[in-house]
A and B are shown apart, each in its own frame.
Chain A
Amino acid sequence: MRTCKRYMRLYRVLITQFLKGIMQSKVDFLMGLLGFFFTQFMGIAFLYLVFRQVPSLQGWTLEQLIFIYGFAQIPRGIDHLLTDNIWLIAWRMVLSGDFDRYMLRPMNLFFQVIAEKLQPDALGELLVGGILLVISLQKGIVIVDGVHMVLFFVSVMAGALIYTAIKLFFASLSFWVKISGPFLQTAYEMADFAKYPTEIYHRAIRFVITWIIPFAFVAYLPASFFLKAEVSPGIIGIECIMAVVLFSIAYVVFTIGTRRYESAGN
């Protein structure tokens, strides 16, 4: 309990320092946000143009696909906001020896990594996700009752944890190969597949994004639970199990990796 409190306090201190840095460069921050916002907007415009040609896509309407798209952004945004520093392990910290400074402090390593940085760009994803969610609620295509509302939050949290787990796993590979950025990026970009109903893909692709790098459980599958009454809440249960299992695996690999870590001495 006391350690927990100590970590909370430390997190606050570290994040406050970081926020001060952000406030110094407000323009940069706004530009980054704008760029992200724009990219997301294009994705929606694309869907809109596609649906000018067809009334529905394998039984899904434009409104439903927009909800799936928006829903997918929220766990992605939460993970992006909180754990963006993991990317640096994959790209350069292990190679350059910067990871040393975490090893020197008497604190949990994973905590230090994620506490060092908040990524404000992520607000772009959260904003887009939020807006699309509100639009979908107004259209009345989303099921709103007690169970669904509770499970919505559970699902978003579990989804964010799946993202973190995938990032942590691939970033930890850098303890063996020095730079694992390309692997991490490959895995991360697979999330794009899950923005659309996975039924449209070949079986092999569907299998990979459902069970191996399970982005389908972050986006399409839980989203369908909120859209269609006949989808069982079990899907959120599986999502949670996936999240816990994946994160445990990733954390173990990370811990073993840090034991193998040797500094790039000088």
Chain B
Amino acid sequence: MKVYLPFASNELKRQMAYKGAFYLFLFISLFGSFISYYLWKAVYGSANSTTIGGLTQQEMIIYVFMTYVTSSMVTISLADWVSEDVVKGLVAMNLIKPIDYRMSLIWRAGGQMLYRFLMPGVFVWIGLEFYKHYALGMPFVKFTTVLCFLCSASMSFLLYVLFDFCFGMIAFFTTYIFGMLMAKEALLSFLMGQLIPLSMFPGWAQKIFEFLPFPSMVYTPVMIYLGKYQRSELVFALGRQFIWIVLLYALGSVVWNRVTKRLVVLGG
């Protein structure tokens, strides 16, 4: 752990270095949430019932912004770094160092996660709680719910980066991974529940989601935050996240071993 800690702290420092640009990107990244916010307001205004997909309008507002908080923490694209390392041939350097490449990436992602949690996350979150209390007239979130949410979100983070590591392995087979990264982002934002609550999908699609790791990445922690899971459901949801982490970790190891065996690095 002592070996890997610098990866996290370096990433944190790197992010801190470009503050000006960062505030603007923060602003941009909230655009999507505000568009959703107004869109949902209009949808609820045109709907016949007060709940859509099991959520009231107030819950939907919380859903939109908590999804932002959660996904800004969770969706740290390891695959970008992997493809960069592969294209530049840096991966060879990482192979000769006595460290585990995947571990170093995960710790680096951890640094970024922490930063994103501190910088936009917490402020949007606190803002949302005040808005919820004073404008929507709902009680503040319970402390135990916050704990469960944080626990679940941390697992979501691990789950996402482990998945993304496997995805990044594509970089070893094609030099042009940019288009794929874009497709991945689009598809995941959908399957994770980032764009729209999964409860609004048709029944057959929801059945398929049961067997995929993606809902555990964003949808699960946000639903926990909304208090939609009761005791046993909560344990089940957290357990499922844990199992996916174990499975994706194993998958990543297998793929990594295969890939590095056939790796040829030219030059030095």
User: Taking the complex as formed, is A34 at the interface, i.e. its CB lies under 8 A from any CB of chain B?
Assistant: yes
Bound together, the chains give a CA A45 to CA B176 distance in angstroms of 26
- B 178-190 to A, binary, CB cutoff 8 A, 1 in contact else 0: 1111110111011
Bound together, the chains give a CA A33 to CA B178 distance in angstroms of 10
Residue pair A28, B20 in contact (C-beta under 8 Å): no
Contacts of A193 on B, CB cut-off 8 Å? Answer: 31, 35
- A 14-52 to B, binary, CB cutoff 8 A, 1 in contact else 0: 000000000001011011111110110110011001101
Q: Which of B46, B178, B190 contacts A35 (CB 8 A)?
A: B178
Bound together, the chains give a CA A68 to CA B229 distance in angstroms of 38
Residue ID in chain A nearest B189 by CB atoms:
A42
Residue pair A200, B39 in contact (C-beta under 8 Å): yes
Residue pair A31, B43 in contact (C-beta under 8 Å): no
Which secondary structure dominates where chain B touches chain A?
helix
- Tally chain B residues at the interface, Cβ within 8 Å: 40
Bound together, the chains give a CA A38 to CA B38 distance in angstroms of 24
Bound together, the chains give a CA A248 to CA B201 distance in angstroms of 47
Residue pair B187, A38 in contact (C-beta under 8 Å): yes
Bound together, the chains give a CA A226 to CA B41 distance in angstroms of 26
Decide yes or no: A42 and B178 within 8 Å by CB, A189-B31, A202-B38 being known contacts. Answer: no
Contacts of B25 on A, CB cut-off 8 Å? Answer: 182, 185
Residue pair A192, B35 in contact (C-beta under 8 Å): yes
B: residues with CB less than 8 A from A are 20-21, 24-25, 27-28, 31-32, 34-35, 38-39, 41-43, 45-47, 52-53, 174-183, 185-187, 189-190, 195-196, 200-202
Bound together, the chains give a CA A27 to CA B195 distance in angstroms of 30
Decide yes or no: A35 and B174 within 8 Å by CB, A185-B24, A192-B31 being known contacts. Answer: no
Which secondary structure dominates where chain A touches chain B?
helix
User: Taking the complex as formed, is A57 at the interface, i.e. its CB lies under 8 A from any CB of chain B?
Assistant: yes
Could you list 9 examples of A-B contacts with CB < 8 Å?
Answer: A28-B176, A32-B178, A35-B182, A41-B186, A46-B190, A54-B52, A183-B24, A193-B35, A200-B39
Contacts of B187 on A, CB cut-off 8 Å? Answer: 38, 42
Going nearest first, the 9 A-B pairs with the smallest beta carbon separation are A35-B179, A31-B179, A35-B182, A28-B176, A200-B42, A38-B183, A182-B24, A39-B186, A32-B179
Bound together, the chains give a CA A56 to CA B34 distance in angstroms of 21
Decide yes or no: A192 and B32 within 8 Å by CB, A35-B182, A183-B24 being known contacts. Answer: yes
Residue pair A200, B196 in contact (C-beta under 8 Å): no
Residue ID in chain A nearest B21 by CB atoms:
A182
User: Taking the complex as formed, is A201 at the interface, i.e. its CB lies under 8 A from any CB of chain B?
Assistant: yes
Bound together, the chains give a CA A101 to CA B33 distance in angstroms of 41
Known contacts A35-B182, A55-B46, A200-B38, then 20 further A-B pairs from the complex at CB < 8 Å, ordered by chain A residue: A28-B176, A32-B179, A32-B182, A33-B179, A36-B182, A38-B182, A38-B183, A42-B186, A45-B190, A49-B200, A50-B39, A53-B43, A185-B24, A186-B24, A189-B31, A196-B35, A196-B38, A196-B39, A200-B41, A201-B38
Contacts of A41 on B, CB cut-off 8 Å? Answer: 186
Residue pair A25, B186 in contact (C-beta under 8 Å): no
Bound together, the chains give a CA A132 to CA B116 distance in angstroms of 37
Residue pair B39, A34 in contact (C-beta under 8 Å): no
Contacts of A45 on B, CB cut-off 8 Å? Answer: 190
Q: Which of A28, A33, A38, A181 contacts B186 (CB 8 A)?
A: A38
Residue pair A31, B31 in contact (C-beta under 8 Å): no
Decide yes or no: A186 and B27 within 8 Å by CB, A50-B196, A58-B42, A201-B38 being known contacts. Answer: yes
Residue pair B24, A35 in contact (C-beta under 8 Å): no
Bound together, the chains give a CA A33 to CA B20 distance in angstroms of 32
Contacts of A33 on B, CB cut-off 8 Å? Answer: 179
Least CB distance, B37 to chain A, in whole angstroms: 10
Residue pair A46, B28 in contact (C-beta under 8 Å): no
User: Taking the complex as formed, is A190 at the interface, i.e. its CB lies under 8 A from any CB of chain B?
Assistant: yes
Contacts of B34 on A, CB cut-off 8 Å? Answer: 205
Bound together, the chains give a CA A31 to CA B196 distance in angstroms of 26
Contacts of A196 on B, CB cut-off 8 Å? Answer: 35, 38-39
Least CB distance, A84 to chain B, in whole angstroms: 14
Residue pair B21, A25 in contact (C-beta under 8 Å): no
Residue pair A182, B32 in contact (C-beta under 8 Å): no
Residue pair A27, B176 in contact (C-beta under 8 Å): yes
The listed residue with most A CB atoms (<10 A of its CB), out of B39, B175, B181, B200, is B39
Contacts of A52 on B, CB cut-off 8 Å? Answer: 200, 202
